[in-house]
Structure 1
Amino acid sequence: MKSPRHSLLAAGLLACAAFAASAQPAPSAPAEGAPPPAGMNGQRHGKTMDPQQRMERMKEHHAKRMEALKAKLQLTPAQQPAWDAYASAFTPPARPPGAREDLAKLSTPERLDRMQARQAERQARFAKVADATRSFYAQLSPQQRQTFDAETLPRMHARGEHPHGHGPRPGDAARG
């Protein structure tokens, strides 16, 4: 049996909750054509970037890293042609616009065939990069090789650390 005191306490809590909810401003609808608020479309840190912008940013970042590597290696004029061949091997092929939308129009077996063909293209590009890297590496002095090895080493992360330095990923503690 409920005492009047419990009923009064429950009614008071309900009234406080209702008052707090009504005090919150109603979310305003975004203007037509305006980008969605940060976090609403899966973007990180509120950055909205179309694929073309992302590709340009990646190219700029890659160019900066290649220039820094070239400066650290202190190449001789005789090594320049090997460097040029190495650097040009990293140029990605242009992706046709609407490639992702085209996949949606295909049946599952057709999509699998397309994915397999793209995988073969990536494998061929990797072989080209590997060959260019081996040729360039053969032109380097022992000191340059040491620098190249250190600078091109994939960045490894401690177990449980998020790749971009944002702390552990959800569920990493459970994997222990």
Structure 2
Amino acid sequence: MNILRKSILIGFTVLGMAAAHAQDTQPAGKPHGAHPTKEQMQAKMADMYAKRQARLHDLLKLTAQQESAWATYQAAIKPAALDGQRPERKPMNKLTAPERLNLALEMTRKREAFLETRVKAVGAFYAQLNPAQQTLFDEHGLGGGRGGFRGHRGHHGMHGGWGHGGHEGWGGPRQQG
């Protein structure tokens, strides 16, 4: 096992231990069914992410030459840690229609930038894989083993997404033609 692989596995182990520690330090007086704190949720999500990435790494059986591509890929797709410093948000019903649309446009641009970064990272890593590894990545990477993008239910939980049955779209009921 080379040094890079050991470093990655140690990092995943530390994340898992941090998640376990966060769960162990939960205050004793919480009633059953209480919602976890933001920190506990972040630790749980980090742990789940680390486990998924470790499973994918093991499944791909990367060569020593592919390990640097894996490390670059992992650095590019790693979810940003939330620091709790969110700007003050107004409730949506307090915003004007133009403010809501500008907010939606800003969020769309951020999402697009995120996806562009991810596309580049996945493409560069994918090119380093052999055909068998590419098939495994197709099946298990990016949520492929649990439906991936095909299993997405659409925006705001609408069945089938916008304009795909079960939703009348923005303009009201569909016209009979």
Under TM normalisation by the shorter chain, which class is it? 0.5 to 0.7
Distance 1:110 1:96 in 2: 26
1:103 paired to 2:94:
no
Runs in 1 of length 4+ with deviation above 6 angstroms? none
Q: Indicate the residue corresponding to 2:54 in structure 1.
A: 67
Q: Is the 8 A contact 2:139 2:145 kept in 1?
A: no
1:114 paired to 2:81:
no
- Structure 1 residues 112 and 49 mapped into 2: Cα distance closer, same or farther (>3 Å)? farther
- Structure 1 residues 95 and 103 mapped into 2: Cα distance closer, same or farther (>3 Å)? farther
Q: Indicate the residue corresponding to 1:12 in structure 2.
A: none
1:49 paired to 2:40:
no
TM-score with structure 2 setting the length: 0.55
- Structure 1 residues 95 and 113 mapped into 2: Cα distance closer, same or farther (>3 Å)? farther
Give percent identity, aligned residues only.
31
Q: Which whole-Å deviations, capped at 9, do the CAs of 1:99-122 have from their partners, x for residues lacking one? A: 375233962333432332122111
Paired residue type of 1:97: G
Which consecutive unaligned segments of at least 5 residues does structure 2 have?
1-28, 154-165, 167-177
Distance 2:34 2:74 in 1: 30
- Structure 1 residues 85 and 47 mapped into 2: Cα distance closer, same or farther (>3 Å)? farther
Q: How many residues align?
A: 119
Distance 2:101 2:36 in 1: 28
Q: Alpha carbon RMSD of aligned pairs, Å? A: 3.2
Deviation at 1:73, TM superposition (A): 0.8
Q: Is the 8 A contact 2:66 2:129 kept in 1?
A: yes
TM-score with structure 1 setting the length: 0.55
Paired residue type of 2:117: K
Q: Is the 8 A contact 1:103 1:111 kept in 2?
A: no
Deviation at 1:94, TM superposition (A): 4.2
Distance 1:74 1:96 in 2: 34
Q: Which whole-Å deviations, capped at 9, do the CAs of 1:51-102 have from their partners, x for residues lacking one? A: 3322221111011110111011111121112111211222233446363752
Q: Which whole-Å deviations, capped at 9, do the CAs of 1:34-55 have from their partners, x for residues lacking one? A: 76x76xxxxxxx3512333222
Query: If you compute each CA radius of gyration, which structure gives the higher value, 1 or 2?
Result: 1
Q: Indicate the residue corresponding to 1:81 in structure 2.
A: 68
Instruction: Identify the match of residue 136 of structure 2 among 139, 147, 151.
Output: 147
Q: Indicate the residue corresponding to 1:156 in structure 2.
A: 147
Q: Indicate the residue corresponding to 1:138 in structure 2.
A: 127
